[in-house]
Structure 1
Amino acid sequence: MSDDKILMLNREKPPIMGVWNGVGGKNEANETADEGAIREVFEETGFKVSQYFSKGVITWETSNDEKDGLYVYLFHVDSTLDNEVMRKTREGILDWKHIDWILNPNNLGVAEMVNQYLPVLLEKEGDSLFEYNDGIVTLIE
């Protein structure tokens, strides 16, 4: 995140192939959520980040009735990085998107959860707990 822009990734692979989403991935064995987030940002963008904010967790039930979820972070980067032009990576296309563009209700190109939880992450201090069910993200706490 830099001022009024967020670095988004248009993924070339499932899940959520072909839509803009945040950068992310899975934790490796014996890796904390913080360590995994920093590593994934570097692997997918080439950016080394040190200033980050854990913003919460989103959970959902899988088709096997098991709980799954993801940790959500915001990372601040030097404002000079947001001048980089769109570029292709092994994961897809990276580009800085204005927050207003991401949250525009007419924008069908952003992953369905993003416009539901992002306003809370940007406004609320600390961690939030969300639950995702049938296409709707609900703030629990």
Structure 2
Amino acid sequence: MIKYNLCLMKRGNQILLLNREKPSWMGCWNGIGGKVEPGERPRAAMIREIAEETDISDYRLRFRGLVTWMVDGTDFGGMYLYAAEVPTDYEYSTPIRMDEGILDWKPIDWIMHPHNMGIATNIPRCLEYVLKEDVCYDHHCIYVRERMVEMISTAVRTSIEENMDDLNQYLARYF
């Protein structure tokens, strides 16, 4: 059921984001991530995606929960949410053009600015929890005609990262 992953990588007061050239969120800044391959564990998939998209290997990775969504009341989807942190003095020059778009470090204040229309709509609200909370959350986003109308953040157990029974039991609330 959860087919994707997303990582918000922090360096000091910046987050490494990707300006996507493909759907979904084409033209918007979003976190690093992609698909979880069949049979692949969520954390292994995230590590693979970070390597493929950034080639960064010196980071601390933490599971932060899920981002789930419902589009027009019928189309459910989700992704595992991770936070990674590199040392403040880690040298990684951007912008970098890649197949998926352009990678660049963006200041947290810029990401969180209420008038920023160039970022995936769920990123600022998820980032707020990722930066300030030690608890994992499911950030459930409700979209109507491609516009997010509500986001409900619910604390979840960390076991849902690897325990499929726990994950399926939690996700049953949406069906």
Give the TM-score normalised by the residue count of structure 2. Answer: 0.74
RMSD of the TM alignment (CA)?
1.7
Determine which structure has the larger strand proportion and give its number: 2
Counterpart for residue 48 of structure 1: 57
Unpaired runs of at least 5, structure 1: none
Q: Greater shift after overlay, 28-37 or 77-86?
A: 77-86
Counterpart for residue 136 of structure 2: 127
* Structure 1 stretches of at least 4 aligned residues deviating more than 4 Å after TM superposition: none
Counterpart for residue 71 of structure 1: 80
CA distance, structure 1, for counterparts of residue 68 and residue 91 of structure 2: 30
CA distance, structure 2, for counterparts of residue 42 and residue 2 of structure 1: 17
1:73 aligned partner, one-letter code: Y
Q: How many pairs are equivalent?
A: 141
Matching of residues 111-122 of structure 1 within 5 Å: 111-122=120-131
Give the TM-score normalised by the residue count of structure 1. Answer: 0.91
Asked if the contact 1:27/1:36 (under 8 Å) is kept, the reply is yes
CA distance, structure 1, for counterparts of residue 137 and residue 107 of structure 2: 23
CA distance, structure 1, for counterparts of residue 53 and residue 92 of structure 2: 18
Secondary structure of the residue aligned to 2:81 is strand
Counterpart for residue 101 of structure 2: 92
Q: CA deviation at 1:108?
A: 0.7
User: Structure 1 vs Structure 2: percent identity of aligned residues?
Assistant: 34
Asked if the contact 1:2/1:82 (under 8 Å) is kept, the reply is no
